[in-house]
Amino acid sequence: MDKIILPPDAAFIIDRLRENGFEGHIVGGCVRDSIMGIKPHDYDITTSAKPEEVKKIFPHTFDTGIKHGTVTVVLNKQNYEVTTFRIDGEYEDCRHPKDVSFTRDIHEDLLRRDFTMNAIAYNPYDGYTDIFGGIDDIGRKIIRGVGDPDERFKEDALRILRAVRFSAQLGFEIEPETRRAMENNANLIKNISAERIREELTKLLISEHIEKLPLLWQSGLLENISQRLARSISGREDIIQNEIAQSEKIVPVLFAILTQFINTDDIKKELSLYKFDNKTLNQIICLNSLINRKVETDEISIRRLASQTGIENAFLFYSLKNAQGDYKAAEAKNMLNSAVKRGDCLFLKDMALSGKDLISLGIKPGREMGAVLNKLLEMVIDDPKLNTREILIKTVKENFIDNI
């Protein structure tokens, strides 16, 4: 296996540790990605130095997870997580080790990691430390649990979902014993927090290799995450998979596709399981409510929809429909873009007449005024040329003054 060219900062950290009598290695995702020829998104460093020792060596650090041995070293405005070689004690609640202890032996640290491909360490002095055959597994595109996968999934059930996610990110197969252990322990995913499940599902849905998505239900994970969702998908797996494969990698759109067969009454309950931020939550709910709507490509319909949902949601809707193969969606998206560029009036705030103007025309604030404003808005949405102060004042005088 070729050497890994370390970025200067990571090399510097490892060298400084070494000058001080400690070992340092890059480890985990960055080694895996480097071996695969993918540029790592960050570099994690594992070291024989204890957190206090790390803090003495580097002038700029902050505590990230001291209890778990992690200190963040700040170098050239970049953060590097430097974690002491660690042995995880007994696990409780299928996720967290009760206690962790530090060790000076890299091998022990690699033992606690989830998959062979993630349990490889590297530095320029010792080369690769690969005690579980992770390099071979990467070469063969295999995800294999470190040690006894059954035990490892019982310790921390999040690893089962990570296996599915990595499979879809990397296009790897899951080794049969690991695969069996996933199925045997899928029910333990119930112990994992909503946030972690959402994060992993998100990474899964935006993955390159969506052909691996069925692992989510085939492993038994989905029914243990949500029976409602699993039932709604059952028999429609191909639709979901195809649409996700066709979709842009936009999170609310992908979740709307995944949850599309859950009805409007249940969707809020379903989505509350994943603790989305409010904005994403409302976007998915909005898309769910429009799931059976066809795209219309006349100017009026385009403006009416955007006015009803908001511009951002309307674009999401066209993205969703495009993934579903509605051939008009691309055209509708262009038309909405043009409408926005032209500055077509879509909302009350864009109207050439305001509530204040109505008051000066003698209309009282309150429900009547709201009704008048909405009528005017409908009118200018249907015909943007009418959105001038003169025309709107005239319309009010002709149509509404007498009625009040």
Look at the block and give the residue holding tokens 């890059």. Answer: 26
| Residue 97 binds Mg ion, judged by CB under 5 A | no
Question: What's the min distance (Å) between Cβ of 33 and ligand ATP?
Answer: 7
Residue nearest to Mg ion (CB): 29
* List of E strands, 78-209: 78-84, 86-88, 91-92, 96-97, 100-102, 121-123, 127-129, 142-143, 173-174
Given 23, 156, 175, 270, the residue binding ligand ATP (CB under 6 A): 156
Using the rule CB under 6 A, which residue among 159, 212, 303, 321 binds ligand ATP?
Answer: 159
For residue 286, give both structure tokens: 């909005």
Distance CA 60, CA 3 (A): 29
134 binds ligand ATP (CB under 6 A): no
Nearest to 344 by CA among 377, 313, 374: 377
Residue from 114, 130, 175, 223 binding ligand ATP (CB under 6 A): 114
The 3-state DSSP class for residue 351 equals: coil
- Going 201 to 33 to 149 to 81, the CA torsion angle's sign is negative
Rounded alpha-carbon distances, angstroms, from residue 392 to 16, 81, 364, 387: 73, 61, 17, 7
113 binds, among ligand ATP, Mg ion, none (CB under 5 to 8 A by kind): ligand ATP
Comparing CB distances to ligand ATP, the nearer of 168 and 256 is 168
**Residues between 26 and 45 with contacts to Mg ion, criterion CB under 5 A:** 29
Least separation in angstroms between CB 42 and Mg ion:
6
By a kind-dependent CB cut-off of 5 to 8 A, residue 118 interacts, out of Mg ion, ligand ATP, none, with: ligand ATP
Nearer to ligand ATP, 41 or 77 (CB): 41
* Interaction partner, residue 353 (Mg ion, ligand ATP, none; CB < 5-8 Å by kind): none
What b/e sequence results for 132-146 when a residue is b if at least 16 CB atoms lie within 10 Å of its CB, and e otherwise?
Answer: bbbbebbeeebbbbb
Q: Which of 15, 16, 20, 29 binds ligand ATP (CB under 6 A)?
A: 29
105 vs 298, beta carbon nearer ligand ATP: 105
Chain centroid to CA 40: how far? 18
175 binds, among ligand ATP, Mg ion, none (CB under 5 to 8 A by kind): none
Torsion of CA 228, 234, 240, 241, to 10 degrees: 120
Closest residue to ligand ATP using C-beta atoms: 29
Q: Which helix (H) or strand (E) holds 75?
A: strand 70-75
Cβ-contact 320, 287 below 8 angstroms = yes
Q: Which is nearer to Mg ion, 31 or 181 (CB)?
A: 31
- Is 158 a residue that touches ligand ATP (CB under 6 A)? yes
User: Which is nearer to Mg ion, 84 or 185 (by Cβ)?
Assistant: 84
Out of 113, 144, 179, 321, the only residue in the binding site for ligand ATP (CB under 6 A) is 113
Q: Identify the residue among 44, 137, 200, 344 touching ligand ATP (CB under 6 A).
A: 44
337, 329 Cβ separation under 8 angstroms: no
Q: Which is nearer to ligand ATP, 212 or 333 (CB)?
A: 212
The DSSP-derived string for 356-400 is HHHHHTTPPTTHHHHHHHHHHHHHHHH-GGG-SHHHHHHHHHHHT
Minimum distance from residue 388 beta carbon to ligand ATP (Å): 54
- Closest CB to ligand ATP among 158 and 197? 158
Q: Is 81 in the site for Mg ion (CB under 5 A)?
A: no
DSSP code, position 249? S
Q: Quick one: what does residue 142 bind among Mg ion, ligand ATP, none, with the CB cut-off 5 to 8 Å set by partner type?
A: none
Q: Does 28 bind ligand ATP (CB under 6 A)?
A: yes
User: What is the rounded distance in angstroms from the CA atom of residue 112 to the CA atom of residue 231?
Assistant: 35
For residue 238, give the DSSP letter. Answer: H
243 binds, among Mg ion, ligand ATP, none (CB under 5 to 8 A by kind): none
Segment near ligand ATP (CB under 6 A), from 152-160, 309-317, 332-340, 396-404? 152-160
| 159 contact, one of Mg ion, ligand ATP, none, CB 5-8 Å limit per kind | ligand ATP
| CB-CB contact of 175 with 144 (8 Å) | yes
Q: Which residues bind ligand ATP (CB under 6 A)?
A: 28-29, 44, 113-114, 118-119, 156, 158-159
Q: Which residues bind Mg ion (CB under 5 A)?
A: 29
